[in-house]
Structure formats: C-alpha cells, structure tokens
Amino acid sequence: MPKYPAWRYNCYMGRPLIGITLDIQESVNSRGVLEKRYWLKQALVGAVLKNGGEPLLLPFISGVQRARQVMEALDGLLISGGDFDIEPKRYGEKRRKECGPAVPERTESELMLLAASLAGAKPVLGICGGCQVINVHFGGTLYQDIPSQKKTDLGHSQTQPHARATHRVAVAAKTRLAAITGAASLAVNSTHHQAVKIPGRGLVPSAVSADGVIEGIEAADGRFIVGVQWHPEFLIRLKPHAALFRALTRAAAARKRHGALNVRRAGKTVS
C-alpha cells in the first residue's frame, strides 16, 4: 500500500466514527430464560449512516480511564434516549413518586463518556434522555415529571407514531440549533415526561415549547454540545431534523482533521 501523509489518510480514508450509547432491557428468550440485552432503535443508526457518519455502538463503560480510551478512538458522541429516568440525587433532589425507574449503570457510563468527549473536544449530540444527561453533567436540574410539576395543556408523551410531529418548538435566534436547522420554529415529536428545568452552567436554551418547557440546550461558548428533547431520527425525512445528524458528522470530521493536522506537523506518515 502506498504511503500517504497522515492528515490525508485521516481525512479521506473513512467516515468519522460516531459512538452511540446503548440501552439495556431484560427479556425472555425463546427458551423461557430471562436475559439482559443491549438494544438501540434502528432509526438512530440509520440517521447517522444517511448523514455521513459511521456508527459504533457503545456498551456500558466501567471506569474513567476506559471511557477516555474509547473516546480517543472516536470522532464524536451521540447520547441516545431510553425508557428510564436519571436518578434525582444526581442533580440534588429527592425522588418524587412520579419519577420513573432508573438505570444507574447506564447514566454513570454516559456521564463518563460525555466527560471524556469534552476533554477531547469531540462534538456531542444528546437526544431526549441524552439531552437530560448533558444538562445534569453541567449541574442543571430536571423536571422529574412534567404533568405533576408544571401546569400545561401540551402533551409531551404522544400516543401517535414517532414519525409524526405533534407540537412545535420555538428555536432561539443566533443559536447553533438555529444555524443548523435554518428555522425559527420546528415541528417535533414528543415522547418524554421529564425535561430540563434549570439549564446547567455554560448551557443556554435553544428551543422552547409553547408551555415554556425547554426542548433544546447547547453550549454558550460555541463548542458542539447540543441536546434536543425530541427524537429527530424519526423525522429525518424533514431537512431541519436530518441537518442535526449532518452537523454532528461534519463537526466530527472537522475534529478528525484537526487531530490529523497535528500529526502532519510532526512530519509523520502512515502506510
């Protein structure tokens, strides 16, 4: 194989690797045995593939050092949603009776991966529960249960198929989300009973629903740290939602090139 400068190899010889966090569930197999299985919605993998990224599915990580090693090999991180709630003690609150079951090992894993991503200046997109993980990492709080904690006539947990948008959110001007989607308002789906209550340090709201619930957050300092409360993977037929995944993969590719340039400056090549 001919030799290429490292920067050219890294830039052109593959898609950016996007790590996607997995969920876990217990199910009974065909022999009647209860077992735990990792799982992920196919639509999320497809959204990354269709928009320029190479998805790599991430099992739960144990240990900070392991999280750093994993993120060193990746170009970006996508924190997926799931059928669970974050433990309220992680944001300094007592559990309300309406708060749902937690998966502590998943939340711990995602927080470590997120910290490693930020340390390596890798772009991060959080979807639904992933948006909430980002907020908690930065010291923000959550509504443990919107219906019992906030007066609203807006349904945030739709019974319609996920591919159907059921309400709109206003997109804040001059935010990264506005630049990505090119929209001042978005039609979104809604499958959550929790949401950002107080944004974490250094985060700003980027989208808000008509009842005042924060539906999007992002880093105020310009880093690619974006969280959305809806599920854009089911709406990628609409350009603004597909654009979220395209922006993530492009940011990951740019990060990949930036790292490769450091290798180029060192005069190294790969074969």
11 in catalytic set: no
Q: Measured between alpha carbons, how far is 247 from 63 in angstroms, rounded to an integer?
A: 29
**Token pair of 217 as six digits:** 């957050």
Ranges assigned E (strand) in the chain: 4-5, 17-21, 23-28, 34-39, 54-58, 76-79, 124-127, 141-143, 167-171, 185-188, 195-198, 203-209, 214-219, 225-228, 269-270
> Per the residue annotation, which of 215, 218, 233, 241 is the catalytic one?
233
Q: How many CB atoms lie within 10 A of CB 268?
A: 11
> Per the residue annotation, which of 137, 167, 192, 231 is the catalytic one?
231
DSSP-based three-state secondary structure for 56: strand
DSSP-based three-state secondary structure for 208: strand
Beta bridge partners of 214: 196, 208
> Per the residue annotation, which of 110, 128, 131, 193 is the catalytic one?
128
Q: How many CB atoms lie within 10 A of CB 95?
A: 12
258 in catalytic set: no
Amino acid of residue 150? K
233 in catalytic set: yes
Catalytic residues: 128, 231, 233
